Structures are given as C-alpha cells and as structure tokens.
Amino acid sequence: MPKVLIIGVGAGDPEHVTVQAINAMNAVDVFFVLDKGEAAAELTEARRALLERYVTGAVRTVVIADPPRDRAAADYAGAVRDWRDERARLLGEAIGRELGPGGVGGILAWGDPALYDGTIRIMDDLGLDFEVVPGISSVQILTARHRVTLNRVAGPVHITTGRRLAAGWPAGCDDVVVMLDAGLSCRRYRDEPVDIYWGAYLGTPDEILRSGRLGEVLDEIEAVRAEARARKGWIMDTYLLRRA
Ligand SMILES: C[S@@+](CC[C@H](N)C(=O)[O-])C[C@H]1O[C@@H](n2cnc3c(N)ncnc32)[C@H](O)[C@@H]1O
C-alpha cells in the first residue's frame, strides 16, 4: 500500500520549515498539489520554492485542479461537504494512478495540518496510510511577532472562524483567536474592553502587524487591510482578541 506524508511547512517563512519536514520532503516520490486557482497562486509558488530549496533530488509533482466551490449556496455546510468530497475523489484517483505499492506521496500543508486544513480528513476518508509532520501555524507566528502568549495564566484559548465570531463571542473564554475571517468580524466588539493583536501575511516579506485597544486601532486595521488586499489581490490574516 502506498503511503502519504502530510507535511506542515509553516505559514510563509521558509525558515519555519522543520528539519523533520525537510527529511520528509526528501523521502517523497510524488508531491500532490491541489491547485486553488489564481487567488492562491502565490501560495502554490511558495510551496514550489520550498521544494526547490530543500529537496536535493528531482521533484515530481502532480497538480490536481481544485473543483469549483459554490460560495453562494444557501446550505453552506452542504456546499463545503460536496466540494470536499469531489476534492477527495480527485486526489484519491491521482494517488492511485501515480503511486506504486511501496510509493510515498507528499502533500505540503500550509502552517500546521491540524488547524483548518482538510488534508487529514481526506486521507481518513480515502482509507489511505498516512503520516503527519507538524508545522508552525500562523497562530504561532502571530503570537511570536507580537511577543504575547496565547493564553493567560492557566486560562483557556478559543480558536474560531470569522463567520462564527460574527454570530457571537464564544462562551466561557476571553482569549479568542480568529482565522478565516473574510472581513474583520471583530468590528461588533469595538466598544467593548477588548485588545486585538492582528497580523497579515505573517512570516512573509509583506507581513503587517497592528495591536492595541480594538476601538482605537480598528479603523487603521481596516484601512491597511483594504489597501493590502487591493494591492496584492488576496489577503490572509489572523488575530487574537483579548477581553479584559
Ligand atoms: C485554511 S486556514 C489554514 C491554517 C493553517 N493550517 C495554519 O496552521 O496556519 C487559512 C487561514 O489561516 C490563517 N493564515 C494562514 N497563513 C497565514 C499567514 N501567513 N498570515 C496570516 N494568517 C494566515 C488565515 O486566518 C487564513 O484565513
């Protein structure tokens, strides 16, 4: 049976790739890349550059066109499920076609494969043999850049999405990390005693950081976010909200 290595490669800085990840990359026969279209072209290019930098032999890559996703669907969860199923089918087909019985496939996962990344679930669904190599997530880069801890003394941390934060502050937790936020859902808390530690394009030369009392820095974050998004055509940002 072939094996697939899901390799976390950090969220932008090539120096965040671990020695274990480099060794894993060098053990791979074929890399499988899900091409997410133009918006993610820079991320695909970043992964290609990592392979060029760290793999000593020849690199064989198979690109799988990402199936279209119905972002306007009323049933959001259903649309994501359909898209994930189709993605899994295409990936499974490619792995079956390209890898012999003892072959090793590789999938480079952005950041850490355990955080908002569907690759592990897909491998489970396909019933494939796989290993996971952890990576440095965007959350770890965020806290390091701002020189803050993720949790307060013995306290919990809640990691969520912009979509969920827009529906309400998570119960029982004052420290909330927000990812996958299309448009700063934290806006609704601007009049509350909340501090924000925000970072975009973390670990890359385009990195932007802002922090402070939410009500005081939100306008500026909105402005720099809009400007960067217009200039680059895409944005990836993550933030920690800390309620007093
Ligand atoms: C699909 S999730 C993948 C997360 C990834 N597995 C990780 O460990 O960081 C994508 C989200 O991660 C965050 N993200 C990933 N890379 C980032 C970066 N370099 N700078 C800021 N946020 C990033 C953003 O919130 C983005 O919407």
Spell out the SS3 assignment of 101-163.
CCCEEEEEECECCCCCCCHHHHHHHHCCEEEEECCCCHHHHHHHHHCCCCCCCCCCCEEEEHH
pLDDT of residue 79: 86
Evaluate: CB of 7 within 6 angstroms of ligand 1: no
Examine the pLDDT at 39 and tell me if it is beyond 90: no
pLDDT of residue 41: 80
Q: Is the pTM of this model over 0.85?
A: yes
Q: Of ligand 1's atoms, which has the minimum distance to the CA of residue 139?
A: 9
pLDDT of residue 53: 96
Examine the pLDDT at 38 and tell me if it is beyond 70: no
What distance in angstroms lies between residue 238's CA and the mean position of ligand 1's atoms?
A: 7
Evaluate: CB of 160 within 6 angstroms of ligand 1: no
pLDDT of residue 199: 98
Question: Would you say 11 and 141 are in contact if contact means Cβ atoms under 8 Å apart?
Answer: yes
Evaluate: CB of 238 within 6 angstroms of ligand 1: yes
Evaluate: CB of 140 within 6 angstroms of ligand 1: no
Examine the pLDDT at 82 and tell me if it is beyond 90: no
- Which has the higher per-residue pLDDT, 85 or 188? 188
Measured between alpha carbons, how far is 175 from 149 in angstroms, rounded to an integer? 10
* pLDDT band, very low/low/confident/very high, at 37 (cuts 50, 70, 90): low
Examine the pLDDT at 77 and tell me if it is beyond 60: yes
Q: What would the pLDDT profile of 143-192 be if each residue is shown by its tens digit?
A: 999 999 999 999 999 999 999 999 999 999 999 999 999 999 999 999 99
Structure tokens that stand for 64 in this block: 């799988």
Q: Of ligand 1's atoms, which has the minimum distance to the CA of residue 179?
A: 25
Q: Of ligand 1's atoms, which has the minimum distance to the CA of residue 203?
A: 19
pLDDT of residue 74: 81
Examine the pLDDT at 94 and tell me if it is beyond 60: yes
| Residue with CA at minimum distance from ligand 1 atom 17 | 138
Please report, rounded to a whole number, the percentage of residues in the chain having pLDDT higher than 90: 77
Examine the pLDDT at 45 and tell me if it is beyond 80: yes
pLDDT of residue 34: 80
Distance, first Cα to last Cα, the chain: 53
Measured between alpha carbons, how far is 225 from 221 in angstroms, rounded to an integer? 6
The stretch 204-232 carries a mean pLDDT of 97
| Residue with CA at minimum distance from ligand 1 atom 2 | 116
